[in-house]
Amino acid sequence: MSRATERRRNAAEWLQFGTAGVIVLVMFYPAIWMVYSSFKSNREIFRAPFALPSQWRWENLVEAWNVGGLGTLYFNSVFVTLVAVSMCVLFATAAAFAFTRLEFPGRKLMYRILLIGLLLPPPSVAIALFTQLRDMHLLNTPWALILPGAAWQLAFTVFLMRAYFISIRPDMEEAARLDGANTWEIFWHVSVPMVWPAMLTMVVLNTISVWNELLFALLFITDDAQRTLPVGLVRFSGYHSTDYSLVFAALTITTVPILILYFILQRHVIAGLTATAMD
Amino acid sequence: MAKRFTLATATALLLLTTAAIAQTEVRFTHSITGGASREALDAIIADFEAANPDIKIKEIVFDDDQYSNQGLITQLKSNEVPDIFFEWAGYPVQRDVEAGYAYDLTEAMATDGWKESFSDAVWTDGAGTMVDGKPYLVPLSLDLTNTIWYNKKIFAEHNLTPPKTWDEFVALNKTLAEAGETPIVEGNNEFWPLGNWAGHIAAMVVPADAYVAAFKQEAPFNTPEFEKALNLLVGLHEVGAFNKDMQALGADPAMATFFQEGAVMHPIGSWLVSETGNLADEGFEYSQFNTPPIDPAHPLANSVIGTITGLVVHKNAQHPAEAIKFLKFLTSEASQVKWAESGQMSPVQGVSDKAKLDEQTQAMLALMSGASGIVPPPDNKYPVPVAEAFYQAAAFAASGEKSAKDALVWLDETLAAMGKQ
Amino acid sequence: MLFAAPAMLLFATFVLLPLGASVYYAFTFWDGFSAPRWAGFANFARALTDPTFLMSFVHVVFYIAATLIFEVTFGLVMAVLLNSDRRGFSLMRGMFFAPVVLSMSAAGVLWKFVLDYRTGLLNSTLRSVGLGDWAQPWLAQPETALLFICIVSGWKYAGFYMVIFFAALRRIPRNLYEAARLDGANGVQQFTAITLPMLKQNVIVCILLAVTGGFAGFDLFFTMTNGQPFGATEVPATWIIKQAFDQNQIGYGVALTVVLTVVVSLISIAYLKISERGNVTRY
């Protein structure tokens, strides 16, 4: 889309810009407030909630990092998210490939079964899953979050990947097959490069979900050393609940990196969602 | 050839020695997240590890609300059970024994005079440390479950002194409310803070046998006496005594609010003392008074509400021997002196005399020994679902959600639907 | 077939297996420690007469309705409003989506502070402009607690739906609008005649996501109020977790989840059938 930047805006466009701008700013303000409040002292937060900090106290962030053990929490969250998302997107793409490009008995049935995942509320199996993970000796390990995390994202991911596959004609793959390539080669060398944008989008969406997952992380992990960010944050804010500056600092540290990452990858998300067309 | 041989031997020796000094790890879960008591505990653990280099104590800590909700349960049900876990005396210990979680300490207690080192009071029937005559709970602290802490400075500003009767108490709440202060702050999100207090108030108003029968689900709660008890809370609500966000506030934030002078009084337990260093500013002056007598003729008019807290060894503990060794160390006189000086009331004999207790702990000890009786908190003595339903009814009344009568009607209905626990 | 295998295996092990186990446990009395005892339909009977559970459905339906307004509709409106190639719009879209990226617990914690009675941003603002009387303990009052949780959820998720609709808007061919304008249609008419029908499929999917997501709602409710005050913000998921973990009644907790799952499935299937009638959707 070329930028229509040369033409001057008319009144309607200014109205659009203005209205949108006001709404967006109001919505975004709490996030901004959280960030600059984390540099204030508690007293300042109470006395002058709106003002910018008189002194930018970076030591708040350092304290929050240490007291909250944010380093460990970050590491655990990164590890769990990285592995779970990779597994999920890979498996889902393969499955979507199978459901749309390959013929085999039970294809439709399998897909329908997978769709059940879209309807299930995760809390509904939390208890049974707890017992199951215990019997599998996976409790308190990162795998307790990685494997169910990936599994529960599968339905949504397959759903979207399949839609994307359908929107692309199978011409390239058929040509490759005529050239004598086997299924594996077709998948890796033809299909994957084609659906790559959608895969990227799913990576972003899945990362948001897995990174922020709370319920399973709360129930399946009890060791401090294995804990992930969302749970750590809740516990931290419970104990230090009147130490506003500390909690805001912790919140800032845990959310700003994700926000920055998101802003950088923004284009891909929108491009990917456009492509998958949500049909 | 010679080189390889030496290398191999060296490696083998190294492995052997490493195995020899391999550490046994004892898993210890509790809910003491910080404050002076946590420091004392950590110091005691450090002393123990120094004296026993082959044992390492691993602490798994949750905050109060989380520990009681899922923190302990998820660990007990997992396949890496804690060797030692924090527990409250009474019903919780009984439940643990019945579920097969508690290690019988009869033998351990009989050696080295361990049992005798504690004060006699902790081994009485009502203490709740034993089930079927066998000890399961190693007592660690005497808890004053609920007393009314107050800000000395604000009291002085309004010329108030600790009330001698309930009516005086209501009056001073009214004075404070009219002066624009928040008289009482309570963080009742999880129901137990106010609930414990309500349990004590009810015990001071309702005849003992009716009280016990109701909690055992042998008689209804909807009686004139219980109604009178809940109406006392309603009365406080009507003079504006409670903080408006009582039900939305957690226990910890409420305590912090008290320390930051956001309210004048805070009815909570003895553990507040050890948090002072953490949450209060320098020079914060506070004290406490027991819930004043409501009905002077009642046998429990001058009672306190308290319980024993301690540690249970898990029946399937990986390292019971080491766990018991640590517990004996923890309850030795030297360790207990440290413990008491952090603001706890020690159950071990002679400690209170030896330790340099702060004035708050001394006052509480005096209160407990001078009381006409110790009422156990409902959720320690009776089935937890019943106690919690009672706590909810009390919350209904104190927040003005329901009248006292309606709250009790609701309580009886809920308990009937629940069935006998 | 092999290509679908890893996904199916993972799904079967960690989604279907616990689901099946849940159904079994629902028929037992079990506290998670001792052996389960057979209960027949007792748990289900209790579930269907449990006043808090039934109330939680009322709350969650209210929440879903609010979601449809604060998130889906608002997201659609913002998608249209932010649909421009002019400078600054890309940044605004990013800012609007940003709260989605936060964890529910971070959002919950942040807003808990904003709504705090004594020191929160909202009440401080009201007091500073002389409207101190309007300051309420927002999360402590049954009337306002649920509403505010819905508002926070809206704050967090409107951006998600905005992005979905925005992507769809981009795919509508420009010449349709040109043709309509030449025919004399104004903005509103263009919206109703062209935009809405083209978005119909997206709207259907978004409503489904809102409904299923709503029933599963846990994180925000747990972090902000955990059912308080007095169950005014109790939703099925928080009640289920309370029964299973806090109250140690696993059999009952699981029976509740079975009821919840059945309800959600029925609603979703019915919804899909109805929406399918006007469409060719390939399943």
Residues B393 and B276 in one domain: yes
C76 Cβ under 8 Å from any chain A Cβ: no
Q: How far is A136 from chain B (nearest CA, A)?
A: 9
- Tens of pLDDT, residues B128-176: 888 988 999 999 998 899 999 999 999 999 999 999 999 999 999 999 9
Specify the CATH number for the domain of residue B218.
3.40.190.10
Q: For chain C, how long is the longest CA-to-CA vector?
A: 76
Any B CB within 8 A of A246 CB = no
* Whole-number Å distance between alpha carbons of A39 and A153: 37
Residue to mutate among B63, B94, B237, B247, with most C CBs inside 10 A, is B247
- Subunits next to B (3 or more Cβ pairs <8 Å) are A, C
Cβ-based contacts of C240 with chain A (< 8 Å): 123-124, 126-127
Interface residue A54 vs chain B (CB under 8 A): no
Is residue C75 in a domain? yes
Query: A235 and B63: CB-CB below 8 Å?
Result: yes
> Which residues have C-beta within 8 Å of that of residue B413, sequence separation ≥ 6?
none
- CB-closest option in B248, B262, B384 to C225: B248
Rg (CA), chain B: 24
Question: What is the percentage of chain A residues whose pLDDT exceeds 90?
Answer: 8
Searching chain C, which residue's CA lies closest to the CA of residue A277? C168
SS (H, E, C) A104-120: CCCHHHHHHHHHHHHHC
**Residues B88 and B164 grouped into a single domain:** no
Q: Is residue C265 part of a domain?
A: no
pLDDT at position B1 over 70: no
Cβ C217 vs Cβ C66: under 8 Å: no
Q: Is A54 helix (H, G, I), strand (E, B) or coil?
A: coil
B169 and B265 in a single domain? The answer is yes
> Is A251 within 8 Å of A38 (Cβ atoms)?
yes
Residue range B410-416: average pLDDT?
90
pLDDT of residue B11: 52
Strand partners, B305: B146, B375
Domain spans in chain A, listed from the N-terminal domain onward: 11-62, 70-239
Secondary element (H or E) of residue B312 = strand B304-313
Contacts of C218 (CB under 8 A, 6+ apart): A122, A123, A214, A215, C235, C237, C238, C241
Is C226 in the B-facing interface, judged by CB distances under 8 Å?
Answer: yes
Q: How many other CB atoms sit within 10 Å of the CB of residue B5?
A: 9
CATH 3.30.930.10 for the A70-239 domain, yes or no: no
Tell me, yes or no, whether B406 lies in a domain.
yes
> Is a pLDDT exceeding 60 seen at residue B293?
yes
Question: Phi-psi category of A273—alpha, beta or left, where left has phi over 0 and alpha has psi -120 to 50?
Answer: alpha
Distances from the Cα of C248 to the Cα of A129, A196, A212, B342, C252, angstroms: 16, 46, 27, 34, 9
Please answer whether residues A151 and C10 qualify as being in contact, where contact means their C-beta atoms are separated by less than 8 angstroms: yes
| A neighbours by CB contacts (3+ pairs under 8 Å) | B, C
C106-135 residues touching A, CB cutoff 8 A: 106, 108-114, 119, 121, 124-125
Check CB contact under 8 Å for A28 and C170: no
Chain A residues whose CB is inside 8 A of the B71 CB are: 222
Say whether pLDDT at C281 is over 50: no
- Within a domain: B204: yes
Domains held by chain C: number: 1
- Examine the domain organization and report whether B243 and B320 are in the same domain: no
Whether residue B13 is predicted with pLDDT greater than 60 in this model: the reply is no
Residues 80-109 of C with CB under 8 A from A: 81-82, 84-90, 92-106, 108-109
Answer yes or no: is C110 within a domain: yes
Reply yes or no on whether the pLDDT at B362 is more than 90: no
Residues A148 and A120 sit within 8 Å (Cβ to Cβ): no
Contact B74 A239 (CB under 8 A): no
Burial tier of B17 (Cβ tally within 10 Å: 0-12, 13-18, 19+): exposed
* pLDDT for residue A15 is more than 90: no
In tens, the pLDDT along A162-218 reads: 878 887 778 877 888 888 878 888 888 888 888 887 888 888 888 888 888 888 888
pLDDT of residue B19: 47
What is the bridge-based pairing of β-strands B304-313 and B374-375?
A: parallel
> How many helices and strands in chain B, by DSSP H and E?
20, 10
Is position B106 within any domain? yes
Residue B97, domain extent: 24-143+307-370
Please, which pLDDT band fits residue A274 given cuts at 50, 70 and 90?
low
Query: Is A149 within 8 Å of C47 (Cβ atoms)?
Result: no
CB atoms within 10 A of CB B16: 9
At residue A8 the predicted structure's pLDDT band, cuts being 50, 70 and 90, is low
Asked whether residue C253 is domain-assigned, the answer is no
Do residue B240 and residue B112 come from a single domain? Answer: no
pLDDT per position as a tens digit, C110-141: 888 888 887 777 887 788 788 877 778 888 88
**For B96-119, what is the mean pLDDT?**
89
Q: How far apart are CA B203 and CA B381, in angstroms?
A: 13
Query: What is the tens place of the pLDDT at every residue in C174-232?
Result: 788 888 888 877 777 777 777 888 788 778 878 888 888 888 888 888 888 877 778 78
Please list every residue in chain A whose beta carbon sits closer than 8 Å to the beta carbon of residue B63. 235, 238-239
**Domain extent for C132:** 51-233
Region of B24 (left: φ > 0; alpha: ψ -120 to 50; beta: rest) is beta
- In the numeric block, the tokens 């409710």 are attached to C221
Q: How far does the CA of residue B248 sit from the closest CA of chain C (Å)? A: 5
* Residue B373 pLDDT level (bands cut at 50, 70, 90): confident
Measured at the CA of B58, the angle between CA B52 and CA B63, to 5 degrees, comes to 140
How far apart (Å, rounded) are the C-alpha atoms in residues B229 and A103?
74
For residues A224 and B59, what is the distance between their CA atoms, to the nearest angstrom? 10
Half-sphere exposure of C272 (CA within 13 A, CB side): 16
B257 contacts on A by Cβ (under 8 Å) = 242
The residue of chain B nearest to residue A141, with distances taken between CA atoms, is B80
C225 within some domain: yes
The residues facing A51 across adjacent strands are none
Which residue has tokens 């749970």?
A: A231
Q: Would C100 be classed as within a structural domain?
A: yes
CA–CA separation, A35 and A38 (whole Å): 5
In the chain, the amino acid numbered A245 is S
The tally of domains found in chain B comes to 2
Q: How far apart are the first and last CA of chain C?
A: 18
What is the average pLDDT value for chain B, to the nearest integer?
87
- Do residues B44 and B179 both lie within one domain? no
> For B377, which DSSP code?
P
Collapsing DSSP states into helix, strand and coil, what is residue C157?
Answer: helix
Contact status of A222 with chain B (Cβ, < 8 Å): yes
Considering only CB atoms, which residues of chain B are within 8 Å of chain A? 33-34, 60-63, 65-66, 70-71, 74-75, 77-80, 250, 252-253, 256-257, 260, 279
Is the ipTM of this structure higher than 0.85? no
